[in-house]
Amino acid sequence: MLVLSPWFRPPAALLCALPAMALAQAPTQASAQDGDLADRLYHSGERAYASKAYKEATDTWEQLLQTSPRSEFAPLVLLRLARHQVEVEHKPEAAKPYLDRLRSEYIKAPEAADGLLLHGQLLAQEARRPADLKDAMAEFNRVLDLFPDASACAEARLELARAWRDQGQWGRALQQAIDAFRLHSGSAVAPRAMFEAAEILDQMGDLPGCLRMLQRVRSEAPQSPEAQEAAWRMAVRVKHRLQKPPFRNEGPWPAGRTKWLKTPTLLSLAPDGDLLVFQNDLDRAFRLHAAEAGPLGPPAPGTRALLASPKGALWMLTKNGLVREDAAAVQPLGGLGAISGAALDRWGSLWVADAKTPALTVFAADGGSRTVASPTLNALAPLPSGGLAVAADADRKLLFLDAEGQPRIVVPYGKDLPAPFRTVTALAADGAGQVAALVDGGDFGEGVVIFGPDGALLRQATFKALGISGRITSLALDRSGGLILCDRRNDLLIRLN
Amino acid sequence: MRFRHFLSIFLLCAALWGQDAALKETFLQAKALWATQGDREGATARFDSVVAALAPKAAGLEPEWIQVLCESYNWLAVLDDRSAQNKARAQVRLQALIDLNPDFDLDRALTSQRLAAQFDRMKGEKFALVKLSYAPEGGRLTVDGRATPALPRKYLPFGNHKLVYARPGHAPAEVTLDFAPKDAKPVDFKLTRTSSTVTLYTQPSDVEVFVDGKSLGYAIGKAGPEAAPLAVPLGLRPEDLSAPFIIPELAPGKHRLELRAGCYRTKVLELGAELATPAADHTLEPIRMEPSRGLLSVSSAWPGGELFLSGRSQGMLPLTNLQVCSGPYDVMVRFPGGGFSQRITVEDGKSLRLEARPKPRLAFLGLEGGDFTGRARFQALLESLGDRLQQLAFLPAHAGEPAAEALVRLKASRDAELVLLARPVPDKVIHRVELLVATLDGEEERLVVKPLEQDPLEALAARLNAVPTLHRPGLGLSALDIPGEPGPWVLAATEPALKAGLAVGRPILQVQERSVSTVEQLQQAEGSAKGALSLVQEGATSTLPLQSEALEIPLGATNLSYPALLAHLRLLSAGAKGDEANLIKLNLALGLMQFRKYDKAIELLRDARLSTVRGVSQGTIDYHMGLCFLHLGSAYQSEAGQAFRQSLKYPQSTLLGPDGPLVAPLAKQALEDLK
């Protein structure tokens, strides 16, 4: 056994103690160094990101997560990486691991509120039916419960309002939408929340409340996109539902132009309010902007229904299938050969009516399809409630369906009119609750009828009374409270005001 | 506290004055005892008591008392010299005398020749004599840089000494001499005149003297008897004048003499060129300052206000025609809750009236430690924040008082409603400062600013100045901006508006004979009018009375300071009655809900009753009470349900304002959720 001499013991004791001393100091120094490194890595990534060197930025931030996971920058980096995946890469799935980690490891960090919100928004986007919104709503509620003072609360409340709206829970939707602007005055969310509240109020049958709320949007955020949207919605609601002036034929539109189209057969409105026209002799659709028609999308001979997706892409339903402006291939429509109308719901599903099929066929975004029991339908138009307005000539009824395809309002043909009509050639909706029907037959004859969101008759006129003698095949409600008719015989459009 | 302080100073001064008088009396008694009664012991005892009192503080004594002490030593030396017992002590007395003032000469009529010779011998062992003459006299002599009386004979310690003689208007003269034992050197100072001097006296004293805009100092003190020829012709005593103030170097040409004193009119005189040239000494006639005063009246509709002018209490309001010296003042009126502050300038001979409305007081607690670049500038900005606040009375921090102590003081005294504390945010390099605004009840909010930005307090000042209104004028109608309509389109109207002839479903074309095209223009007309407005709709005219419509405060607004808002509402609440008071309570409750103080909000809402049933009204109060109960948890579900049911009795009640969302559908849903 080695025994150290007494002279040697103090230095030896000191040497023994050194590692312990070093260890005691090490965490502090290492922590400070980590902090410095994390700081530098974060800002380096930020610089790269600002110059759109995304690869360099994300690599740098990933390195930060590896080397300094306890740094104050780690939750911020996770949030930024998630946002990058969503906003730049358009890969929401790739964002989720970052958001999961943010929630599980950094729930106390202030960035967790935004992370929960984003996660909820991704889940809401993925939802394909009301029940799918459950997890998204849980995330929004977590934001409110865990971070009541966070700025993300305003957006979370608005998202909850939309989720309740999409489930048809109008009262709860209204509560959340009102709280989203009442509890967050002046926030960026406020105009959107007010707008949402206005639309919900309309769904609840409170037209004055809806109009006051839209006016509030215009007064408090006059420069916002919602204020622009509110302006035309107020105009059409007041004109169709309150003023209800008799229709007046303004003649060929726009600007009195005649014989300028090649057999126009279908009309539809794009999300921005532009009119879409399908010209049968040209086999393609055109966008009418500033009185000029420009070709839109690929040729689609025999198009029977025309619609625009929420992002503005043109969809045309033909005998051969669905021709999409934003997709290369034609998608088959299960052999539906007599398509009489189509609409996209807010879950991304395409509802198709066929004049020879006694059911509605629903094509889901993931490619699957199902049928919903229905009489044979002659026309179809989407409703802002998420449901549909459909016309069944066989039953001589106009039906207002809910988002599940179940009838909520039934309006017999000719109700409240001086005389009944027999058929509905086309239906159109304006997005603000009004539904226009192009009708024919019976004692009423050929003409137009406008219904409110509750099925009430708002305005009507016969073509005879208006002096219209062409062959009208389609119609559209414009954003000024007017009605555009498509006259295939005379190759022109007519506007009723 | 302040009274006790003044009392203690007064007593101390009185004691000192009494002590001086007694000492002088003792000194005179001592002289008399020996000179008239031959009481040597009695005299010695009294002189000893004088020496005992003065000697320990000899270095700081006034010349008058130095003289008393010197004479006492002289007398004691003579008395001791005549006593066989104390003879030896005489030398000690003389030595003390020489050490105290070598220039003092013994009273040779009193002192024996032997003792005088001994005195001269002792002095000659340490000091040399210098005989001085001064031309002109009246100047200032310094020896080795220290001022000393300009006497004809002076005794200086052996060695090298520098003597300087100076007089205003003359070039100073200096001489350096080396003294050895038994030296006796003469020095003749003859000064050369360089410029004129002007001597002035002011009445009163403590007057700042400016020549050509430059301050030369203050005319202070009291004039001596030499000023009698100047004072008496003016009906004044010499001591009514200040001590002479000499303007030392009057350059050739005219000069502007300006005299300033608080509470007196500034006096401006021209000093003619003849005063400067030829160079000579001039004495001006005493300058009498004329009082300068104005009248200040302060009143308030709120009771219990006490007026303070620059920190000094002037009494309780109302105060009418209070005579105050002209000049700037910081006016502060302290109310039982809140305060009013304003910086004013009272002008000579003019009246100023103020109406004091209590404002919440914001006490600045200070900028906490932590050094950072720009700290001094940031501190200065914080200290001058009060100049930027229109809705709050700003109370500066007490110098040297730590923030925690200041907070304790304010909580105890309730001398403020709000506090502001600035804290640097710890970092390697501090570049953020957290500004905390809080009520004394603990409602607080924080704002982080960058001290180096152009105006780091801009956002804070804007938030503190923003006070939302609780009312807006309205005509009892809802109007919309409908594209294509020529004016605000009437959606709905109250019964009185309909009876007055207003038509629903038509646009308003003119208001007060001016065309309007938007709702905003209509609201502007409502805001600027009083009484009633005449409206034109497609040829039909109606006149609608303007009504005050209740509003809720905006919540979660980033441009508002909610602690400040609560403080405002609490002050308003103190002076309000009826529906006004209840509307304030509703809004106070909303403010408390912002801080999640739902229990406190319920207390307020429970007491609030609004007589109105449309717009922000009783149903609004009930709905918010229901929300507060919901936030308190399941224990209060039944109370929440009761409040929501109550709110349904007012189907026209709204949130936010008269055009806000109806309460009823929200309450219905809340009841549904409670099932």
For residue A104, pLDDT over 80 is answered with yes
Q: pLDDT tens digits for B84-126? A: 888 889 999 999 999 999 999 899 888 999 999 999 999 999 9
Mean pLDDT of A5-24: 41
Domain match, A314 and A460 both = yes
Note the pLDDT of residue A475. Answer: 96
Note the pLDDT of residue A129. Answer: 87
Task: Give the DSSP H or E segment for B664.
Answer: helix B663-674
Domain match, A309 and A442 both = yes
| A192 burial level (CB within 10 Å; 0-12, 13-18, 19+) | buried
Select the highest-mean-pLDDT range: A357-371, B230-244, B533-547, B642-656.
B642-656
Asked whether the ipTM of the predicted complex exceeds the cut of 0.95, the reply is: no
For residue B137, pLDDT over 70 is answered with yes
Residues facing A427 on adjacent strands:
A437
A287/A334 Cα distance (integer angstroms): 28
For residue A388, pLDDT over 60 is answered with yes
Q: pLDDT tens digits for B172-219? A: 999 999 988 888 899 999 999 999 999 999 999 999 999 999 999 999
For residue A32, pLDDT over 80 is answered with no
> For residues A219 and B519, is the Cβ–Cβ distance under 8 A?
yes
- Kindly report the average pLDDT of chain A as a whole number: 91
Identify whether A36 is part of a domain: no
Note the pLDDT of residue B19. Answer: 63
Search chain B and give the residue with CA nearest A187.
B557
For residue B83, pLDDT over 50 is answered with yes
A349/A344 Cα distance (integer angstroms): 6
**Token couple for B495:** 């019964």
For residue B413, pLDDT over 80 is answered with yes
Note the pLDDT of residue B7. Answer: 43
A225/A212 Cα distance (integer angstroms): 17
Rounded (10°) CA dihedral A80, A84, A85, A89: -170
B65/B76 Cα distance (integer angstroms): 16
CB neighbours of residue A377 within 10 Å: 27
| DSSP 3-state of B334 | strand
Confidence of residue B18 (pLDDT cuts 50, 70, 90): low
Confidence of residue B11 (pLDDT cuts 50, 70, 90): very low
**Residues of chain B with a CB closer than 8 angstroms to some CB in chain A:** 478-484, 489, 491-492, 505, 519-520, 554-559, 596, 655-656, 659-662, 665-666, 668-670, 672-673
**Token couple for B252:** 């050739």
Phi/psi of residue A346, nearest 5 degrees: -75, -5
Confidence of residue A1 (pLDDT cuts 50, 70, 90): very low
**Residue-wise DSSP of B220-240:** -S---GGGHHHHGGGT--GGG
CA distance to partner chain A, nearest, from residue B555 (Å): 5
> For residues A264 and A306, is the Cβ–Cβ distance under 8 A?
no
> For residues B283 and B204, is the Cβ–Cβ distance under 8 A?
no
A57: left (phi over 0), alpha (psi -120 to 50) or beta: alpha
**Token couple for A308:** 């625009």
In our burial notation (b when 16+ CB lie closer than 10 A, e otherwise), range A469-479 reads ebebbbbbbbb
Confidence of residue A29 (pLDDT cuts 50, 70, 90): low
Confidence of residue B40 (pLDDT cuts 50, 70, 90): confident
Confidence of residue A11 (pLDDT cuts 50, 70, 90): very low
For residue B491, pLDDT over 90 is answered with yes
* Cα separations in angstroms, B449 against B378, B558, B567: 11, 14, 23
Note the pLDDT of residue B520. Answer: 95
A167/A173 Cα distance (integer angstroms): 9
Q: pLDDT tens digits for A317-371? A: 998 899 998 888 899 988 888 899 999 988 889 999 998 889 999 998 888 899 9
For the whole model, what pTM was predicted?
0.74
% chain B with pLDDT above 90: 74
Note the pLDDT of residue A6. Answer: 39
Note the pLDDT of residue B575. Answer: 72
> For residues A242 and A255, is the Cβ–Cβ distance under 8 A?
no
Mean pLDDT of B135-158: 91
Identify whether A212 is part of a domain: no
Task: Specify the pairing of strand B196-200 against strand B281-283.
Answer: parallel
Q: Give the long-range contacts of residues B234-239, CB within 8 A, separation 24 or more.
A: B234/B203, B234/B285, B234/B286, B234/B288, B236/B203, B236/B286
Q: pLDDT tens digits for B220-271? A: 999 999 899 999 999 999 999 999 999 988 999 999 999 999 889 999 999 9
Of A96-110, A235-249, B40-54, the poorest mean pLDDT is in: B40-54
| DSSP 3-state of A349 | coil
Confidence of residue A170 (pLDDT cuts 50, 70, 90): very high
Mean pLDDT of B564-581: 91
Mean pLDDT of A212-238: 97
Phi/psi of residue B643, nearest 5 degrees: -65, -40
CB neighbours of residue B170 within 10 Å: 22
B100/A392 Cα distance (integer angstroms): 129
Note the pLDDT of residue B666. Answer: 98
Identify whether A417 is part of a domain: yes
> For residues B443 and B435, is the Cβ–Cβ distance under 8 A?
no
Note the pLDDT of residue A376. Answer: 92
**Token couple for A138:** 């849980």
Last residue of a domain, one of A150, A182, A199: A150
Chain B residues inside the 8 Å CB shell of A238: 480, 482, 489
Identify whether A178 is part of a domain: no
Mean pLDDT of B652-659: 97
Identify whether A22 is part of a domain: no
Last residue of a domain, one of A93, A126, A150: A150
For residue B6, pLDDT over 70 is answered with no
Note the pLDDT of residue B88. Answer: 87
Residue with the larger pLDDT of the pair B164 and B575:
B164
Q: pLDDT tens digits for B429-464? A: 899 999 999 999 999 999 999 999 999 999 999 999
Interface probe, candidates B425, B480, B627, chain A, greatest A C-beta count within 10 A? B480
CA distance to partner chain B, nearest, from residue A431 (Å): 18
Domain count, chain A: 2
For residue B644, pLDDT over 80 is answered with yes
- Indicate yes or no: CB of A238 within 8 angstroms of CB of B519: no
Give the range of the structural domain holding residue A120, as residue numbers without chain letter: 42-150
B604/B589 Cα distance (integer angstroms): 6
- Indicate yes or no: CB of B520 within 8 angstroms of CB of A219: yes
Mean pLDDT of A427-433: 94
- Angle CA B343–B348–B351, to nearest 5: 70
Note the pLDDT of residue A22. Answer: 43
**Residue-wise DSSP of A411-456:** EETTTTSSS---EEEEEEE-SSS-EEEEEESTTT-SEEEEE-TTS-
For residue A31, pLDDT over 80 is answered with no
Mean pLDDT of A440-446: 95
Mean pLDDT of B21-31: 89
**Residue-wise DSSP of B403-456:** HHHHHHHHHHH---SEEEEEEEPPSSS---EEEEEEETTS-EEEEEE-TTSS-T
Note the pLDDT of residue B619. Answer: 98
Last residue of a domain, one of A150, A169, A184: A150
B368/B420 Cα distance (integer angstroms): 11
B238/A445 Cα distance (integer angstroms): 121
CA distance to partner chain B, nearest, from residue A432 (Å): 15
Q: Which domains does chain B have, with CATH numbers?
A: 13-125 (no CATH), 196-288 (2.60.40.3070), 293-355 (no CATH), 361-465 (3.40.50.800), 471-550 (2.30.42.10), 575-674 (1.25.40)
CA A360 to chain centre: 22
Note the pLDDT of residue A18. Answer: 41
Note the pLDDT of residue A77. Answer: 97
CA distance to partner chain A, nearest, from residue B620 (Å): 13
For residue A34, pLDDT over 70 is answered with no
Domain match, A142 and A253 both = no
Of A159-168, A437-446, B188-197, B336-345, the poorest mean pLDDT is in: B336-345
Mean pLDDT of B494-519: 95
Residues facing B258 on adjacent strands:
B210, B268
For residue A5, pLDDT over 50 is answered with no
CA B212 to chain centre: 29
Search chain B and give the residue with CA nearest A153.
B556
Q: What is the CATH number of the domain that holds A404?
A: 2.120.10.30
Of A185, A208, A218, the CB nearest to B557: A185
Domain match, A129 and A265 both = no
CB neighbours of residue A177 within 10 Å: 29
CA distance to partner chain B, nearest, from residue A189 (Å): 12
CA distance to partner chain B, nearest, from residue A175 (Å): 6
Confidence of residue A14 (pLDDT cuts 50, 70, 90): very low
> For residues B72 and B47, is the Cβ–Cβ distance under 8 A?
yes
For residue A15, pLDDT over 70 is answered with no
Identify whether A366 is part of a domain: yes
- Indicate yes or no: CB of A238 within 8 angstroms of CB of B555: no
Note the pLDDT of residue A464. Answer: 95
Note the pLDDT of residue B46. Answer: 92
Domain match, A445 and A308 both = yes
* Cα separations in angstroms, B2 against B5, B268, B280: 5, 38, 50
B163/B185 Cα distance (integer angstroms): 13
Domain match, A141 and A254 both = no
Which residues, other chains included, contact B482 with Cβ-Cβ below 8 Å and sequence gap of 6+?
A234, A235, A238, B489, B507
Confidence of residue B60 (pLDDT cuts 50, 70, 90): confident
Chain A residues inside the 8 Å CB shell of B491: 208, 211-212
Confidence of residue A24 (pLDDT cuts 50, 70, 90): very low
Note the pLDDT of residue A30. Answer: 54
**Token couple for B424:** 């640097």
Nearest to A42, CA basis, from A87, A80, A15: A80
Mean pLDDT of B383-401: 91
Note the pLDDT of residue B576. Answer: 85
Identify whether A333 is part of a domain: yes
Note the pLDDT of residue A33. Answer: 64
| CA atoms lying within 13 Å on the CB side of residue B475 | 33
Note the pLDDT of residue A25. Answer: 47
Identify whether A21 is part of a domain: no
Cis peptide before B204 (omega within 30 of 0): yes
Confidence of residue A255 (pLDDT cuts 50, 70, 90): confident
Note the pLDDT of residue B84. Answer: 85
A96: left (phi over 0), alpha (psi -120 to 50) or beta: alpha
- Indicate yes or no: CB of B596 within 8 angstroms of CB of A148: yes
Nearest to A251, CA basis, from A476, A428, A466: A466
- Indicate yes or no: CB of A219 within 8 angstroms of CB of B489: no
